[in-house]
Amino acid sequence: MAEPSPAESDVPPKEYEPTERLYPFTPPPAAELNAVLPQFEVLKMLGQGGMGAVYLARQLTLDRLVAIKILPTIEGDSHFAARFGREARALARLSHPHIVTVHDAGKTESGIYYLVMEYVDGTDLRHVLRSGSLPPEQALAIVPVICDALIYAHKQGIVHRDIKPENILLDQEGRVKIADFGLAKMMVSSHAEDVLTMTRQVLGTPYYMAPEQARSGGAVDHRADIYALGVVFYEMLTGELPRGNFPPPSERASVDRRLDPIVMRSMASDPDQRYQAVSELKTDVERVSTASQRPPPPVPISAPTAAPRPVEPVFSLTCSSTYSTRCSVSGRGIGPVEGRGPGTRCRS
């Protein structure tokens, strides 16, 4: 089936360019960084994007691995230094198990702005999606974790503004961490004198940006994160981006139809029609997830046709596994009775 063409309302205006085009950036080689960051041993570059490049480094004083984010230089933004310092301090105050920690920030003598962050040894959600190995139950497990991180950040007054699979990291144990909190705000000027000298800036990633984010050039609230998370959720469930006049997830993949209104509400074009808080989205996702894990109703047992037998003990089995463990038991005079999940009881 041919992919539907995106509707005009779903495509950012032409003047809104991806970050990579707004800020052409050539990452410095590791050897150059070692010369200007003597407190670190910069080992290699891990990746590059529109908001800079990330390097793996060893912090010599503490003998630990860290990730160093080098930010691109923004020509014509006379307020960047003050904004960088203010936002870096705000990010450093974020302390949550599912948010990548910012350890330090600074500027080298050569004028390179950098953030020193927790190193997450693993992969990102984009690589997982490309491998095609994300079943729906894993998506249902990941989304509430992302919600927890967003709830915490929003309470601190910080909006991510660039939720996408590349910024959702998974370590070797499968734990979820969100990276690049607040960087989009750090990179966009809010001063009128800068706006006059710079291209209209929209920091974010097409198809993950809320419509109001593209229109306003960055003046958004926490509901922009809800929209982006809805797009990521759709992509996790279907393996596709919600482009054009897209159908609900259950029409693209074998997923629970009860997720359709949750995902579609998250991506409402009008922010007033979306979830107004991430906690509401989390509650609805967990309600569907919990319902899908409930044990089936007990199998009815036919009345015996022979003479009544002495009452036998009740067969009970409690499943200790958290994830859909199948339990079964059978006794004299009854067929197998099955259940799923913790607390399943099988009775004669």
Catalytic center residues: 162
Q: Report the alpha-carbon distance of residue 247 to residue 111 in Å, rounded.
A: 48
Tokens of 308: 């009544």
Q: Report the alpha-carbon distance of residue 340 to residue 345 in Å, rounded.
A: 9
Question: What is the DSSP secondary-structure string of 125-154?
Answer: HHHHHHHT---HHHHHHHHHHHHHHHHHHH
- Of 17, 8, 10, 118, the closest CA to residue 62 belongs to 118
Q: Report the alpha-carbon distance of residue 194 to residue 197 in Å, rounded.
A: 5
- Of 191, 164, 168, the closest CA to residue 179 belongs to 168
Q: Report the alpha-carbon distance of residue 50 to residue 24 in Å, rounded.
A: 8
**Which positions ≥6 away from 229 have C-beta within 8 Å?**
143, 146, 147, 150, 163, 266, 278, 281
- Of 133, 255, 98, the closest CA to residue 263 belongs to 255
What are the φ/ψ torsions at residue 49 (nearest 5 degrees)? -150, -165
Q: Is the separation of the CB atoms in 34 and 42 below 8 Å?
A: yes
- Of 247, 228, 205, 271, the closest CA to residue 20 belongs to 205
- What is the dihedral angle through the alpha carbons of 79, 83, 84, 85, rounded to the nearest 10 degrees? 110
Q: Report the alpha-carbon distance of residue 161 to residue 181 in Å, rounded.
A: 8
Q: Report the alpha-carbon distance of residue 52 to residue 71 in Å, rounded.
A: 4
